[in-house]
Amino acid sequence: MAVSASAFAYVSKHDYQRPASLFSSRLRLSCKPFSASTNMNSFSISPSTSNGFSLSSSCFLHAHAIACFFRFTRVSVHRCRRRYHCSHPHRSETVVVKYAMKAETPSDRRRVVVTGMGVETPIGRNPDEFYNNLLEGVSGITEIEAFDCSDYPTRIAGEIKSFSTDEWVAPKLSKRLDKFMLYMLTAGKKALVDGGLTEGRMEEIDKSRCGVLIGSGIGGMKVVSDSIEALRVSPRKMNPFCVPFASTNIGSSLLAIDLGWMGPTYSISTACATSNFCILNAANHIIDGDADMMLCGGSEAPIIPIGIGGFVACKALSERNSDPTKASRPWDSGRDGFVMGEGAGVLLVEELQHAKKRGAHIYAEILGGSFSSDAYHMTNPHPEGAGVILCMEKALSQSRVSREDVNYINAHATSTPAGDIKEYLAITHCFGQNKELRVNSTKSMIGHLLGAAGAVEAIATIQAIRTGWVHPNVNLDDPDKDVDINLLVGKKKERLDIKVAMSSSFGFGGHNSSILFAPFS
């Protein structure tokens, strides 16, 4: 069984240098093509360098690293070559990206399915209530009640008004934990119950092969803020749990401790792309055989003075305070920034045979997905959407999905002037010829949940697959001149027999992520 791959890049101003510690001399690569091949016993790389240098696996590569790089046992080369003009303020060049990554999936490859869902959102605390409200166009964006924000230019958010941890979290922990952890714990346990894992059934599974991967974009900001205020009085007044309860990983850890799950347990934080990174990495743990079952997703509780104030300082938030339900308006010409939201979304993902063996109900299958980086700017999207295009095309290629089969996209679209259009142009670049494609944004009704957004939107995507209905884009009164209204879902829900759905999330730092879901068959 052999694997082959090729990579190609032109960089007009900068080339790469090998570290002196790795080679006896600093070699300046000419960025010409290189090829790699492997069989069961060997691996070799033969780059074309300015001095004809070549190397083999005996230098520094191990078989395990190769296995991680080439996930599948067979790869059929699918070359994709795109030319992008980079408008970086410090350099201007044309970049050609050529990659080979379309994998042939062997029949024994482990498949990943979704068997449970749990949510905490401004418009629903279970998947059905949440999605029914989305279908009816119910907005959860209101005036902020959590604190006095009368002096703030933004005074609205997608706030969860009545939240209770009763029966889900021990009272002692409920008083101590940051709210992002409480959202995470309740949504995680709800996903387990939804997946049929009651207390009695929990004893029937191998807990050493179950893990938790739930992240947060900003973590326990309330705990940190309160501790800073206490520190102004005296260090002795500080919360002794300040450091662990502010960390994004402790939520996953506490849930694993509560459940006794001993498999891969950690968190990922990639700003607003956090949830998708967590879901895809959880799926990869199952594909790789590290686990049979994972709880994954994201949680966020940013509606506090420092959270709202920080984004106000960025000039990123809508100031449509007089009409909160109309403030979040993706792709509408009157959009003036995003609306903050809070909550959590958690998926129970599972290896197919493991799910079948325990008689689990299967909501959908995760076909795959991908990540990329804009490598352009900390907060602004790439002007030509190069990173987003690369991410979407890699997701299709690695999942062996035809772009014609993707007929629904739950977009990241946050209601910002630049971000909505750049994503729209990337979508039309990749899927522009697909006449069946429908696109919407869940954020039009619940706001932007930052690190939790991707997981909540993944649940909306799965519910669309399950019900055959896609929710409306509310507030799309006057579409931006650069968008085709025929591609976007209107202001009423629409029937759609979904073949493959894509859910995308992008975050500060240029983090891009796309996941492909499909009906299970």
Residues acting as catalytic residues: 272, 412, 448
Alpha-carbon distances of 362 from 102, 134, 395, rounded to whole Å: 27, 22, 22
Which helix (H) or strand (E) segment holds residue 355: the answer is helix 352-357
Instruction: Please report the beta strands in 432-507, taking only residues with DSSP state E, as ranges in sequence order.
Output: 438-440, 469-470, 494-495, 500-507
**Residue 198 · residue 241 · CB < 8 Å:** no
> What pairs with residue 113 in β-bridges?
350, 365
Distance (Å, rounded) from C-alpha 297 to C-alpha 282?
9
Torsion of CA 472, 475, 476, 481, to 10 degrees: -150
Which helix (H) or strand (E) segment holds residue 266: the answer is strand 265-266
User: What 3-state DSSP class applies to 107?
Assistant: coil
Phi and psi torsions of 248, nearest 5°: -70, -25
Measuring CA to CA, which residue among 432, 438, 413, 429 is closest to residue 488?
438
Distance (Å, rounded) from C-alpha 210 to C-alpha 354?
11
| Two structure tokens written together for 121 | 């959102």
